[in-house]
Amino acid sequence: MTPSTPHQLEDSEQTLKTFDLGASAALICSGFELLDVDKTNRRKALFVFRRNDGIEDLVDRYWSDRLVVKARAYFDTIKMLKNRLYSD
């Protein structure tokens, strides 16, 4: 994960943000870069991704149940994200 400035993380032109753990795991499994996990809100974490070409299409395919990813990679990515959520 590359360090980003706070300005980059708040720029909606450069980032995609989601609270959804499943969609975040799907994005990571598909090669998109996770920039940050914002745990400011104690009740839910905000996953911040670098916005690249195709990211919106991938999210649409995830929500319409048309996205295919490797099952074990998806499971391992969810475990990694949960570790990030519950550490610190």
Q: Per the confidence metrics, is the pTM higher than 0.75?
A: yes
At 70 the pLDDT is 97
In a domain, 1, yes or no: no
What is the CB-side half-sphere exposure of residue 4 using CA atoms within 13 A?
Answer: 18
Count structural domains, the chain.
Answer: 1
In a domain, 32, yes or no: yes
Amino acid at 4: S
User: What span, in angstroms and rounded, lies between the C-alpha atoms of 27 and 69?
Assistant: 10
Q: CB of 29 within 8 A of CB of 60? A: no
In a domain, 38, yes or no: yes
Looking at the DSSP assignment, which residues form a beta bridge with residue 34?
A: 49
Higher-scoring residue by pLDDT: 8, 62:
62
pLDDT value at 88 more than 80: no
Domain that includes residue 40, residue range: 6-86
pLDDT value at 32 more than 50: yes
Q: CB of 16 within 8 A of CB of 57? A: no
In a domain, 47, yes or no: yes
